[in-house]
Each structure stands twice: as structure tokens, then as C-alpha cells.
């Protein structure tokens, strides 16, 4: 990869941001969303064994999956997963300024006030991660970035452990920061992260690590049996902060702070900082539903359709339902699973206004261009580009669409023939998904083109999925033409049951002791609409009727 290239037809690489043993991070422009992003490219050394490569790929995939589930102001936003034309996997994420703490303290130690504020923010984000039943497993100074405004960003989620899943059976993380219980074979919980945070605080206060050995076995023995030196033996350290650091580094997890919220209270008391009122964005993080609720059968249906497509027996699917019923969330989970299976996934978003004809089709198909044999694109490209200039990031949309569409059926027919041949050829070569959202807003040319795609890809390895608002799309619409032709299956989403609404509440507000009848009233008020139910919870959180106290949610 190098500056100037466009990855998967979407990300224009600008410059190198950083480099490590497993790959590089590039600054890039997302041409579809029109924003700057960081592109983390995985590079596997050629000398590694197949088993080691598989392990590293699983870690990279796990990092993307975990970051996608854990959206908080103090975690990096992750956007996309894919594979470069050279076969290297990549993740795209938000660009964050500032410096990592390891770099920062090389120049000068953090002053006491800044250190307290960093630790308080770390306690906040760890409270969130642990509430989602994850352990980060690699808390260290180089994995924490501090922006120019003083905000903390936690990075590198590649070795996270999910509570309730089998113990990994081997050490995870960085040896200098490793909690003793990893060596004892004990169950791992959030207190292991608190130990690592204690090591990080020791390092930030002194600019040295409490245990530093050239022999890994001796280093591990230090964590297991040797009490950490007092930071004040090296430099001046606030006495109360020193006690907090040593408590975090207790060998027995039962002797540490028992959760991140308890730690935050101690930090605020010692520093004189007020207990932080979580900003609205942080409280809203808890309202992101990390799992698909009440749509397990529908997700399984889509995944089964994908499996059938892989066997060359694809069939399109139209997913319908009222606004807010959960179509987008279902599609997000389907896209996540498809991308983790390393399938090309093109998404086209229809809008009520502001888009040129065929723009959603071009948007979805742009990701297919890098998978197209050059001789096929050379032959079909002129006809495709005339109607779909959006396939190229270099050609302005709108004007060309309108002119080509006005030139009559012969021009349109040639385009549809080229579109059919292109996608049918791709569908014979590999599995992929084309998804079109909100078909109730699609222009007639887009609906015609989508029907061409469905007919061309039927019985191949290419799958087409569309969503629509059932109350806003006439049964006579072109969108249902291939349903009548028995080429497309229809999937209608029903409102959530009261039981599913209860599950949703438990997921977004873990530990909440719900007042009697709360779920019943919420279900009745929202009529089982997932979006409305989440918005009701959001309003209750914003109004202070639901609040976090000591790491748990309570109702006023």
C-alpha cells in the first residue's frame, strides 16, 4: 500500500500515520462517507506458520468485532472491515489526535492533576467495558491516547476476553502489565484490568515500570510474589495516589478495588475532583444494543441465504416492516457477519431527496470494481460508467446520470445488458452481498437496475438484500416485481414481544432492578418498536430517572 491508491474503490490513502510489527496505520479519505479515517492494515510476515497466521487473523477479527460492540466516547469508533487488493485485511476507524501516554511521559512526567484526570477517565471507560462483560486484557500506557483537549481514548482491543466464555488457557496482554491471576489459572474478570491500570499509573507517576526484567520467567515471578516498590522511592508522588496505585496492584484480586466504579470514587475523593457527571454521549453509550434482540430467526434466515449463495443457489431477500422495527439493526449484524467471513459487501442507501438517479446502485457496486477482472471492466466499463459515474471516485455524479437517462431505451438497454453481464460474471466467481436500504425512497431507475441485478444473480454466488418501510411502499411498486417472479423472498419483521423488550432493557442497562410493571408499560407504550423502546430509555436516562450508581443502574 502507498499514498494515492484507492482501496476497495472507497478509501483513498493519504499518508502513513504509524507502523508496528503487524502492520501499518494510514491516514485515508472515505470517499463514500466523505470523512477522514485511519486505515489499519494487517501485514503478516511471510515466515510465520499457517497456525500462527490463523491466530493473528482471529485476533484482528476479534478486535474489529469487540470495538464494533463497545461504542463509548473513550473508545475508538470503528467503521469497516475489509481486504485490500493485495490480500491484506484492514480495519477503518476514526482519526484521533494527540499522543499516546507512553510517548508523552518520555518527555516529562504527568503532573498530579493530569494523572488523576487520566485515571478517572480510564475508570469510566473500564466501567463501561466491564458492564458489557468484557475484559480489555492489555491496559498499558502505549494503548491509551490523550487528545489536545485532555480526553482519553483507549485503543487496541485485539486480545479482549469475554466473560462467560472459556478461559483462554494462555497468557494475554503485555508481560510488564500482567495481573498475577493469569499465571494461577484463575478466572479472569475486570479486576485484572485494574491491576494493569495500577502498573500503568505507577509508570506514569515515575516514568519507570515497577517490574522490568530481561528474563520473562523472572518478570512473571515478580508479578506473582514480589510486592511492588513504592513509587515515592523514585520521585515525589501524592501520598493518596500512591496508596491507590498499590491497592490496584495487590496480588490477590479480592484485596483490590472490586470494580472500576469503586476505583473512580476513591480517585475523586483523593484528588478533590468532583465525581464526574457522565456526559450525555457516555450515558448514551449504554443505550447501544450490543446484540440483535428478537431477530435471531431472521438473522439466521439471512445467514442461511448467504450459505446457499456460497453454493451457487442465491435468492434475493426483501426485508420489510414499520419504521423503527429493527431492519437497520438486523442489517448491521448481517453485514458484520458477512464482513467477518471476508465477503465483499456493497451497501447502497436510498434517500427521500438529494440523490441522483441510480446513485444507490453505484454506491453498492463500487466495492465490486476491485474484484472485477480488468479485461471485463475494460470492455463493459464505458457502458457502465455512462449510467453509473459513481462507480469511479473521480467522476462527478448527477449531471451524467440525468443526460444518459434522457437518451432513451436503447442507451438504458445497453446499460442493463452490461450490468447483468458484469454482476453475473462476478457471481460465478465468488460470493458477495449487495444491499439496498430504504427502497421506499428509491428512484424508478434504481428499482429497475436492482431488479436487473436480482435476475442476473439468481442461482449464482451473489446475494441481493433490500429493506423497505412497509407502510410507505405500494404493493404495485417495481420493488416487488421479482417477488412476483419467485426470484425474491419477502421477510416481514413483527414488533418485539414483551419478553424481547425485557431482554433489550437488560442488555442496555445491565443490573437495573426494574420497578414492577416497567417492562409491561414500556412494551405497551412503544408497541414493541425497538427504536421507540430505546428512545424511551434514552429519555429516562437524560431526565435522570435512570442513573448509574456504584456501577449499577437504578430507577429513581
In this predicted model, what pLDDT tens digit does every residue of 1-11 receive, in sequence order? 788 888 888 89
pLDDT in tens, 40-80: 998 877 787 888 888 888 888 888 888 888 888 899 889 98
Mean pLDDT of 271-289: 69
Mean pLDDT of 508-536: 86
Topology at the third CATH level for domain 312-490: Rossmann fold (3.40.50)
* pTM of the complete model: 0.73
pLDDT for 205: 92
Mean pLDDT of 77-84: 88
Task: Answer whether residue 397 shows pLDDT above 90.
Answer: no
Mean pLDDT of 455-484: 92
Tell which wins on pLDDT, 490 or 52.
490
Lowest mean pLDDT among 93-107, 156-170, 394-408, 467-481: 394-408
* Cα 475 to chain centroid, rounded: 35
Task: Answer whether residue 163 shows pLDDT above 80.
Answer: no
Query: How buried is 384 (Cβ within 10 angstroms: 0-12 exposed, 13-18 middle, 19+ buried)?
Result: buried
* pLDDT band at residue 38 using 50, 70 and 90 as cut-offs: very high
Task: Answer whether residue 401 shows pLDDT above 60.
Answer: no
What residue spans define the domains of the chain? 6-93, 99-277, 312-490, 498-555
d(CA 162, CA 132): 9
Mean pLDDT of 194-217: 92
CA angle 85, 36, 351 (to 5 degrees): 90
pLDDT for 60: 83
* pLDDT band at residue 404 using 50, 70 and 90 as cut-offs: low
Tell which wins on pLDDT, 478 or 185.
478
Task: Answer whether residue 169 shows pLDDT above 70.
Answer: no
Mean pLDDT of 98-109: 87
Query: How buried is 184 (Cβ within 10 angstroms: 0-12 exposed, 13-18 middle, 19+ buried)?
Result: exposed
pLDDT in tens, 303-328: 999 999 989 888 899 999 999 888 99
Topology at the third CATH level for domain 6-93: Phosphorylase Kinase; domain 1 (3.30.200)
pLDDT for 371: 86
Task: Answer whether residue 388 shows pLDDT above 80.
Answer: yes
Alpha helices in 388-463 (DSSP H): 399-406, 409-429, 444-457
* pLDDT band at residue 282 using 50, 70 and 90 as cut-offs: low
Tell which wins on pLDDT, 143 or 67.
143
| Average pLDDT score, the chain | 86
Task: Answer whether residue 396 shows pLDDT above 80.
Answer: no
Mean pLDDT of 208-230: 91
- Tell me phi and psi for residue 130, to 5 degrees: -70, -30
Q: Residues of the chain with pLDDT > 90: what percent? A: 42
Yes or no: say if 417 and 386 are a contact pair by the CB < 8 Å rule. no
**Full strand arrangement of the beta sheet holding 432-437:** 345-349, 432-437, 462-469, 316-321, 488-492
Q: 95 CB contacts (<8 Å, ≥6 apart)?
A: 27, 36, 37, 38
pLDDT in tens, 411-429: 788 889 999 999 999 999 9
d(CA 81, CA 155): 17
Task: Answer whether residue 395 shows pLDDT above 70.
Answer: no
Task: Answer whether residue 383 shows pLDDT above 80.
Answer: yes
Which superfamily, per CATH, for 99-277? Transferase(Phosphotransferase) domain 1 (1.10.510.10)
Tell which wins on pLDDT, 132 or 176.
176
pLDDT for 334: 92
pLDDT for 394: 52
User: Do the annotations mark residue 40 as ligand-binding?
Assistant: yes
d(CA 522, CA 313): 42
* pLDDT band at residue 540 using 50, 70 and 90 as cut-offs: confident
Task: Answer whether residue 402 shows pLDDT above 70.
Answer: no
Task: Answer whether residue 523 shows pLDDT above 70.
Answer: yes
Cell output for 316: 434475493
* pLDDT band at residue 82 using 50, 70 and 90 as cut-offs: confident
Amino acid at each position: 500500500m502507498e499514498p494515492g491508491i484507492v482501496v476497495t474503490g472507497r478509501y483513498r490513502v493519504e499518508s502513513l500515520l504509524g507502523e508496528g510489527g503487524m502492520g501499518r496505520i494510514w491516514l485515508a479519505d472515505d470517499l463514500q462517507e466523505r470523512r477522514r479515517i485511519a486505515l489499519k492494515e494487517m501485514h503478516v510476515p511471510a515466515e510465520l506458520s499457517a497456525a500462527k497466521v490463523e491466530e493473528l487473523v482471529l485476533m484482528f477479527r476479534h478486535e474489529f468485532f469487540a470495538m464494533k460492540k463497545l461504542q463509548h466516547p473513550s473508545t475508538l469508533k470503528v467503521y469497516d472491515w475489509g481486504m485490500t487488493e493485495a490480500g491484506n485485511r484492514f480495519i477503518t476507524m476514526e482519526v484521533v489526535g494527540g499522543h499516546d501516554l507512553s510517548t508523552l511521559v518520555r518527555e516529562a512526567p504527568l503532573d498530579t492533576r493530569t494523572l488523576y484526570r487520566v485515571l478517572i477517565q480510564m475508570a469510566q471507560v473500564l466501567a463501561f467495558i466491564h458492564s458489557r462483560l468484557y475484559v480489555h486484557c492489555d491496559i498499558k500506557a502505549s494503548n491509551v491516547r490523550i487528545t489536545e483537549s485532555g480526553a482519553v481514548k483507549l485503543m487496541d482491543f485485539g486480545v479482549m476476553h469475554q466473560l462467560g466464555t472459556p478461559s483462554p488457557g494462555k497468557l494475554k496482554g503485555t508481560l510488564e502489565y500482567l495481573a498475577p491471576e493469569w499465571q494461577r489459572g484463575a478466572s479472569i474478570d475486570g479486576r485484572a484490568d485494574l491491576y494493569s491500570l495500577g502498573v500503568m499509573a505507577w509508570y506514569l507517576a515515575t516514568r519507570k515500570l515497577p517490574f522490568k526484567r530481561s528474563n520473562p520467567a523472572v518478570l512473571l515471578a515478580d508479578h506473582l510474589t514480589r510486592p511492588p516498590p513504592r513509587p515515592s522511592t523514585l520521585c515525589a508522588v501524592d501520598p493518596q495516589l500512591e496508596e491507590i496505585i498499590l491497592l490496584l496492584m495487590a496480588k490477590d484480586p479480592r484485596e483490590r478495588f472490586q470494580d472500576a466504579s469503586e476505583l473512580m470514587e476513591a480517585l475523586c475523593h483523593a484528588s478533590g475532583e468532583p465525581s464526574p457527571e457522565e456526559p450525555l454521549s457516555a450515558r448514551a453509550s449504554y443505550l447501544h444494543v450490543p446484540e440483535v434482540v428478537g431477530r435471531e430467526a431472521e438473522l439466521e434466515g439471512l445467514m442461511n441465504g448467504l450459505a446457499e449463495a456460497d453454493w451457487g443457489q442465491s435468492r434475493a431477500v426483501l426485508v420489510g416492516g414499520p419504521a423503527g422495527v429493527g431492519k437497520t439493526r438486523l442489517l448491521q449484524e448481517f453485514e458484520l457477519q458477512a464482513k467477518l467471513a471476508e465477503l465483499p459487501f456493497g451497501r447502497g442507501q436510498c434517500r427521500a431527496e438529494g440523490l441522483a438517479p441510480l446513485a444507490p446502485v453505484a454506491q453498492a457496486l463500487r466495492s465490486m470494481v476491485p474484484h472485477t477482472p480488468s479485461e471485463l471492466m475494460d470492455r463493459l466499463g464505458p457502458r457502465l460508467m455512462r449510467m453509473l459515474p459513481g462507480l469511479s471516485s473521480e467522476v462527478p455524479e448527477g449531471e451524467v446520470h440525468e443526460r444518459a437517462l434522457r437518451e432513451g431505451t436503447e442507451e438504458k438497454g445497453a446499460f442493463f445488458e452490461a450490468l447483468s453481464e458484469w454482476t453475473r460474471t462476478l457471481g460465478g466467481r465468488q460470493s458477495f452481498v449487495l444491499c439496498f436500504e430504504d427502497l421506499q425512497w428509491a428512484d424508478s431507475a434504481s428499482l429497475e437496475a436492482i431488479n436487473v441485478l436480482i435476475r442476473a444473480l439468481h442461482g449464482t454466488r451473489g446475494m441481493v438484500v433490500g429493506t423497505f418501510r412497509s407502510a410507505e411502499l405500494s404493493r404495485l411498486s417495481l420493488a416487488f416485481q421479482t417477488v412476483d417472479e419467485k426470484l425474491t423472498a419477502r421477510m416481514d419483521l413483527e414488533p418485539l414481544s414483551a419478553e424481547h423488550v425485557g431482554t433489550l432493557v437488560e442488555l442496555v442497562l445491565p443490573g437495573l432492578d426494574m420497578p414492577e410493571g416497567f417492562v409491561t408499560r414500556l412494551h405497551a407504550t412503544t408497541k414493541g418498536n425497538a427504536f421507540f423502546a430505546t428512545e424511551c430509555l434514552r429519555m429516562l436516562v437524560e431526565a435522570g430517572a435512570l442513573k448509574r450508581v456504584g456501577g449499577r443502574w437504578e430507577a429513581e
